[in-house]
Amino acid sequence: MLAPFFKEPYRRTRKSVRPKSCSKDGWIEFKGCTDQILRYIAEPNEDKLLERIEKIDEIYGLNKNISHHFNLKTKIQESPDNGILSKRDYFRSGWKCCQLFISSTFRDMHAERDLLCGILVPALRRNVALGLRVHLNEIDLRWGVPEPATYNSQVLQICLEQAAASDIFVLLLGDRYGCIPDEAVVMSLPESLLSEVCKFYKPGMSMTEMEYHMARQAAISKVPIHERRQQNTISFHEAIRLRICVFIRDSASIENVPDELKHCFEEYDVEKRNRLNAFKELIRNDGVIVSHK
């Protein structure tokens, strides 16, 4: 849209300055305009523009006390189809929030994360909302985060804290051990978090295994103290199983992966492979594996 600028000579003043976007014939190109913006364009005198801006609160009454009264008697129709509740039900019926944390290695679990976040979690969120009155929120912090970013202390801190605070911890594990943050990065964590991490941390531990241990410790913390010391008790393992779900990929499922892409799904480093096997053994002993396929 074209709008005139300095079109009427008698409106110009000595203090008026021609903008750089203005052509020699006194026209400028303006897109996405409104009536208010056109009013500014029609005022070529900078003094008038400044005066108007300084009085903008008076023009629109912005300095007045704003008060709004909510009509609490307004009724909202309940519907089992759309899950809309009345205000009284929403605030007084005991709705709860559930945090679902999704953990996995980076390169080899893109499809699985798409399936969880795109199909399964939305369907589950709707079912628990209508049937159990639970707000389900998935936490997928590392989805879309470049792998080098995990070596950052702040990213590590957020992931570990969210893993510990989650109500349900879902781990997707294949044949990769995952990225290993530097020991200096781990030791730079806040003191309160570091004290929890040091209970299980060993140099060379992957970020994925650290997240699992944080969720595991949070689950164990709900077990009575006298039973925590005896880690083979039923309540000890039951507390872990109620909070953690682990899905391990069947190694045979990647046999048809092209050779040039297999490095994204397999661990070639001997030390990392040994750590991965030990990690899987811990998971099996905890009894949290849901499926191996």
What pLDDT does 196 receive?
96
Pick from 190, 200, 109, 106: nearest CA to 149? 106
What pLDDT does 127 receive?
92
What pLDDT does 187 receive?
96
Phi, psi at 197, each rounded to 5°:
-65, -40
Enclosing H/E stretch for 207: helix 207-220
- Choosing from 42, 60, 78, the residue where a domain stops is 60
> Which neighbouring-strand residues pair with 245?
170
What pLDDT does 20 receive?
56
Residue 65 within a domain: no
pTM, whole model, 2 decimals?
0.65
What pLDDT does 84 receive?
47
State the total domains in the chain. 2
Q: Specify whether 140 is located in the same domain as 277.
A: yes
Q: Which domain holds residue 13?
A: 2-60
206 close to 235: Cβ distance less than 8 angstroms: no
Residue 81 within a domain: no
What pLDDT does 78 receive?
44
What pLDDT does 4 receive?
42
Q: Specify whether 188 is located in the same domain as 91.
A: yes
Name every residue whose Cβ is closer than 8 Å to that of residue 244 and which is 6 or more positions away in sequence. 168, 169, 171, 212, 215, 216, 219, 286, 288
Q: What is the mean pLDDT of each run of 10 residues along the chain (293 residues)?
A: 41 50 57 57 57 69 55 44 49 78 89 89 91 88 56 86 95 93 94 96 96 94 72 76 93 86 90 96 92 55
